[in-house]
Structure 1
């Protein structure tokens, strides 16, 4: 997407008198003047309550335009008015709207009802209790503090009665009502003498928004004749704006189009642009596009603290200290910890990947000397249970030790996170909620790591992050309802689909319609009416762009019924098209004579034969992809496990004439021990490895049957096991061939001993059969034979499966015929190819078919783009 060039913006005040906000404020100021005249009240002695804080400054400007030299009324919200009269310090048991305190308090209230071992149930009920109590808080705050207990008592039957037969629902309703009624609120000062009529003001005027403010309505009843309510604003008489309609294929297309609409308005000088947040994920994507082209965005809605990078740092630390932590979890934490050397962490990761150590405890056991200094101390210190304040202090210390504390303090989200969680010494504030007191020296309730982690997640999920506000921002992100009386140059409304802009919004929370009516909470009809009025406000805006997607999560989606009712044609795509001349890449054919490897393995030479460019990328440039540290057990794990079991079995087998029963017992014991040592039985009681253990009896019996036949040769001496997992390296001119042989047996013959090279295969039988179909095409066995250049030998693949049929037994040896001739031809070919590479031969991408499907260098050669 190419942004339109930004031209100097004209002064938005020039069109102020024509905007819907100015018309609404003009009417509101006239009513205020009428109120002052009728009540004979001085403007400085009038308090005017506005629906939300962002309207305080526009209201002051609107008054100043009409009365530039006169005293101004106090334009306040109830919360702002209360904070100016008296600071609020919540009691430990109050509903404080603070996620850390409220979560602890809710959990404490549920102590006697929910067993402590029911962790999942306790967490779910705690979340529901906090949500229900917070929904009741505005209703409770609208009651005089002295009358709240009586108010709650009168509602208990109506609120709890419908759920009398539903244990947990009734419990949550009763506790939420009791908690809300027993709490004090920051606005309680408005019921006291400091805010009594005639003290700070002689008149109270309430400007009503789309939804009634219960507290403001209650205060007008208290003030009696000295108070008045007026609705703001009147509905627009007709559609006077210019509309743009932009259907989009999906969320990304919608984000790009919305950002282009914003840029077009800015380029035309229509500032500020209001970006309506119907869909938070979509809005953040749009903001990312705008930030990318240097547009200042002021977000008045914020988002959850749990979605910030600061939260990821803290949660990453807690994942790393878990005794069951994966290697990926710990490595990820180390990479984001400035205190540890990045090169040392990368080296540790590479070694862990090569060794396939997916669990951190395996790394601690096998690579302890390579772990950066100080890591074991940080992770070890946070493993034990402890009281909550101690947890918060120790986590703060751990963040400091790994270098992340400074990053949190330098980040706006990090500072809010530290405050929300009370990390460090501030955690003592939460001690009273835990019944922990230094003075009484009582033993504190100890929290396990899982309990503490769950609490941290709940707090981060329940806390909002408010980014720093820029007063000079050209774009303002706000909810649809807060467009009310806002002076904007244009409005962009993404998310106008049937999912995110439904005319019949669903009320949040667990309350039934009857309960909402009894409590005074807005029901579905009230919410729908408020949304209709907010939508109606758009009709008076000068420029409005509506965007919606036609596909949502893989399913077809329709525009909101309100959009469909406009029956408008789609507008042109606001994105600026940019022409690019087609320039298909040429075929890559590099040469690198100085990068020819000095040592060659069988797999490396197979890469050269399959595709020279693959050899160039993976072997000469050494761009091999990192091994996965996947906890899932796969076929590779089965092969490595079987190789190790057979190695130990044959190396410890004292005599070839051991009984079948003894061989079977030893193999079973080695299978279990090896699986345990490799960590294959570590997770979920070994569940991921169970399918492989299930086929083990078939593998074992098939292998022992073959071994008895192999060792019972009728003519000549029987083969004898010589060695397993043998590393070999031989010279070939200026180069070397290297590799590891799975197994070597020795068989005496009339012309001297013959060695038998075996390579274990657990792949499908047909794949193994195809390998030896053309002896001169197979490179692996011929290459292994080349590692024993002076020996008389045989070579083949030992196919080990758990199935037998009429054609082949479960374990079968596929011998490569004429291996001596194949070895000599392969040596000549390797020498010839390496000489050509050293002379500067080209390395084109010649791979075809299956060799390209899973190639690690796919994309580097650009073969797909040429096609």
Structure 2
């Protein structure tokens, strides 16, 4: 934005032929020189066109002229594109380089398909398309500076030097020659400036070019074309430096963003408006802008940001991700939460059921009976409609239809970024026809992929590229207190104060890397700016910045824990003994207020029944029992795409349950048992969505160790069931749900497996609990037998006076003990005594809970380190006595 009343101090204009010293009257001197030069040539100022290096200077120049030459007509201050647009509207041809990623990517793809059909895989082809678009756009300013009738000859003279060299550079050479051909055969919006209607003397009597820090090829070519009727004014960095500088060394990127925002706000509060915020680091600038918006500061951004980073683009992409055949449940839920069609309550219900069922993939959710009634109306049909391949135009029509069906269309139209997304993707009615024949025109229609049917993955990649290639410029309302702009566009403009963050060695390099993959020889041949030219332009921009009043320069001293040096230009300023700036942020004193460990009482909030894990919580930490069992504050299960150790345990439990229920007491032999286990393992993994097709590659490690786990289990089972003087235990039931009571308290539990051990007194129940944890963890449970809760609790669920109980440790490798096997039975030898003690202790503890005794947070031991209620008890904020 241009300030409404720019101060006298401005950017750095210089003169034609002779240079004007930069001072408070730069514009005045420039306009004086311009008017004198036009008068000497007998040309009225109103019949001259002044080409400025960037569009924002048009208004600055007009106001400067009206301020210093209020009488008579003023010259037309124009950028080259604005001047061309005023002469003739422009519509690019089907194969022209249009600077529109939606068109250019299709044309580039058609070119690649035409010259290299079936010679590159999909990934290499995609990279070549991106490189071709980038290279052609870099050549476009050079091609536009050549008269249209001379471009083909210009390109032919350069083609031989750009032919592919060694085999290792074959693709680079191919992209370079294609880019040159594309740029030279395209028409440009500024081509009208070479036409007779824009020739010298036809409406415009003189052309004046104000050069920026870097030479504009088109402007230089027009100066030569206009000859004596052209006047070139260059800007020179010179003059005295302004005062009021401050240098700020910051800790890291976040500290730099906060301090930069504070500097801007301080300048605004001092009445120095407008403030220029120079963009050197895109991410840092976005963060500073967010902080300023949060503080209520009016900001105008002249740099913009990628359309792909806006919320509107995220809404579009979430639809395409949800429609993918491999969409995760998270992808679909994200889409549902964005779409206005479905109420929030129904989406939350589906999410809760999906978490409880452990469904991580959308296609598995469609087949899950427990989720069938919760699937939002029309969702399956909308996503299914976007599965089959189709042409680009058909894809755009399908996306527009889906957006309207889900309510996202209206949301996008109500958002400025959404409107631009609909525009660049041609989603409005009839707009997609523009792209229908682009591929066929640019390439061979028989082989052009852009004219054929695209799968969803390729279409999604195209949408991503289009959104990434478009720039969103947020709309400003009224006069802004802060203007975000590049350093090069400070030229010729006046700001009351300037803040320059990102002045470290990475983001403010005095010798910037030239864009593109061109070699130094190619850049010289083509006329692209060299590293030295770019470095000189950057240095001039920096020197012009130093003339700005009230300048704040900031840089970070570390990045991700690694030290970062200031830019070489900043080091030069430090060598001049410039003082460090004061941090404008006001310090806030925080008084430490540690809390005491909580000890609530909730005798009127008792669980209806107790499980083994619930009573374990009570014994580990009363507060944990209060939070998770009485208040029922539990974490929602994760919708994990990749299976983890918990999934492995659930899968193994399900496999062994199915195996033993199918096998019963039959003992067909090791080979038959192995085949049955393998078949059930595959079927169970598929049913649970754990195989590679559903859950990704996360289950592969468990599939690798399965043979060792299976053989270890069968080896143990053969020994366990062996008959001798006394028959071995026989399988009775798996996943047995049992209940009992201890006084008024109900107990319940699900036992992994119950066997029957024959004895002279009759069958004795044998409770077995599977454990897939480490062998040491399992054995440590019974180091103190009377302290174990789980097996004693399970024993309390059975009315039998005699029983056995054990943990079955199932691993894929033997334990560390000599003679230990991969699967080992760890029996509780004192389970009956432990059961009686548990019954007495449980009754005593629950009576105290019901009576309202405090339930303190213990805050001790390993249990506390992994407790889900740790954030509630606030252990890290307890007072230390």
Give the TM interval when normalised to the shorter protein: over 0.9
Deviation at 1:382, TM superposition (A): 0.1
TM-score under structure 2 normalisation? Answer: 0.93
1:853 is the counterpart of 2:865: yes
In structure 2, the CA distance between the partners of 1:436 and 1:738, relative to structure 1 (3 Å rule), is farther
CA distance in 1 between partners of 2:798 and 2:79 (Å): 88
8 Å contact from structure 1 (residues 497, 548) kept in 2? yes
Deviation at 1:521, TM superposition (A): 1.4
8 Å contact from structure 2 (residues 10, 492) kept in 1? no
1:16 is the counterpart of 2:8: yes
Select 1:476's aligned residue among 465, 474, 483: 483
The residue aligned with 2:392 is 388
SS at match of 2:114: coil
CA distance in 2 between partners of 1:122 and 1:140 (Å): 25
The residue aligned with 2:761 is 751
In structure 2, the CA distance between the partners of 1:22 and 1:190, relative to structure 1 (3 Å rule), is farther
The residue aligned with 2:794 is 784
The residue aligned with 1:186 is 189
- Which stretch of the first structure deviates more once superposed, 190-199 or 587-596? 587-596
Select 1:761's aligned residue among 771, 777, 787: 771
The residue aligned with 1:290 is 292
Aligned length, in residue pairs: 854
In structure 2, the CA distance between the partners of 1:311 and 1:114, relative to structure 1 (3 Å rule), is farther
Select 1:814's aligned residue among 787, 804, 826: 826
8 Å contact from structure 2 (residues 642, 696) kept in 1? no
8 Å contact from structure 1 (residues 19, 542) kept in 2? no
8 Å contact from structure 1 (residues 16, 22) kept in 2? yes
CA distance in 2 between partners of 1:127 and 1:224 (Å): 39
Which deviations, in whole Å up to 9, do the C-alpha atoms of 1:695-753 show, x marking residues without a partner? 22332222223223322354445322110011223344544222211001122323333
1:596 is the counterpart of 2:606: yes
Deviation at 1:633, TM superposition (A): 2.6
8 Å contact from structure 1 (residues 753, 792) kept in 2? no
The residue aligned with 1:375 is 379
Alignment of structure 1 residues 29-48 onto 2, 5 Å: 29-48=31-50
Deviation at 1:165, TM superposition (A): 7.0
The residue aligned with 1:299 is 301
Alignment of structure 1 residues 244-255 onto 2, 5 Å: 244-255=246-257
- Which stretch of the first structure deviates more once superposed, 151-160 or 458-467? 151-160
Which deviations, in whole Å up to 9, do the C-alpha atoms of 1:798-850 show, x marking residues without a partner? 11223335243322222212322222222232233223223222222113231
SS at match of 1:580: coil
Which deviations, in whole Å up to 9, do the C-alpha atoms of 1:6-33 show, x marking residues without a partner? xxxxx98484268868522112111111
1:793 is the counterpart of 2:795: no
Alignment of structure 1 residues 205-354 onto 2, 5 Å: 205-232=208-235, 234-354=236-356
The residue aligned with 1:529 is 536
8 Å contact from structure 2 (residues 4, 479) kept in 1? no
8 Å contact from structure 1 (residues 384, 448) kept in 2? yes
SS at match of 1:510: coil
The residue aligned with 1:827 is 839
CA distance in 2 between partners of 1:26 and 1:473 (Å): 25
Which deviations, in whole Å up to 9, do the C-alpha atoms of 1:655-690 show, x marking residues without a partner? 444222222222222222222322222349974333
The residue aligned with 1:195 is 198
SS at match of 2:276: strand
CA distance in 2 between partners of 1:709 and 1:169 (Å): 67
The residue aligned with 2:15 is none
SS at match of 1:128: helix
In structure 2, the CA distance between the partners of 1:19 and 1:716, relative to structure 1 (3 Å rule), is closer
Root-mean-square deviation over aligned CA pairs: 2.3
TM-score under structure 1 normalisation? Answer: 0.95
8 Å contact from structure 2 (residues 487, 545) kept in 1? no
1:488 is the counterpart of 2:501: no
CA distance in 2 between partners of 1:19 and 1:324 (Å): 55
Deviation at 1:136, TM superposition (A): 0.7
- Which stretch of the first structure deviates more once superposed, 817-826 or 730-739? 730-739
- Which stretch of the first structure deviates more once superposed, 798-807 or 256-265? 798-807
- Which stretch of the first structure deviates more once superposed, 394-403 or 474-483? 394-403
8 Å contact from structure 1 (residues 755, 791) kept in 2? no
CA distance in 1 between partners of 2:115 and 2:732 (Å): 69
CA distance in 1 between partners of 2:730 and 2:590 (Å): 69
CA distance in 2 between partners of 1:406 and 1:732 (Å): 61
The residue aligned with 1:430 is 435
8 Å contact from structure 1 (residues 761, 798) kept in 2? yes
CA distance in 1 between partners of 2:500 and 2:851 (Å): 64
The residue aligned with 2:752 is 742
SS at match of 2:872: coil
- Which stretch of the first structure deviates more once superposed, 709-718 or 181-190? 709-718
Alignment of structure 1 residues 667-746 onto 2, 5 Å: 667-683=677-693, 687-712=697-722, 714-746=724-756
CA distance in 2 between partners of 1:390 and 1:453 (Å): 13
1:509 is the counterpart of 2:516: yes
The residue aligned with 2:128 is 125
What are structure 2's unaligned runs of at least 5 residues? 13-22
8 Å contact from structure 2 (residues 333, 347) kept in 1? yes
1:837 is the counterpart of 2:829: no
CA distance in 2 between partners of 1:863 and 1:43 (Å): 77
8 Å contact from structure 2 (residues 504, 555) kept in 1? yes
CA distance in 1 between partners of 2:386 and 2:55 (Å): 43
The residue aligned with 1:153 is 156
SS at match of 2:588: coil
CA distance in 1 between partners of 2:867 and 2:375 (Å): 32
CA distance in 1 between partners of 2:808 and 2:819 (Å): 16
CA distance in 2 between partners of 1:136 and 1:383 (Å): 39
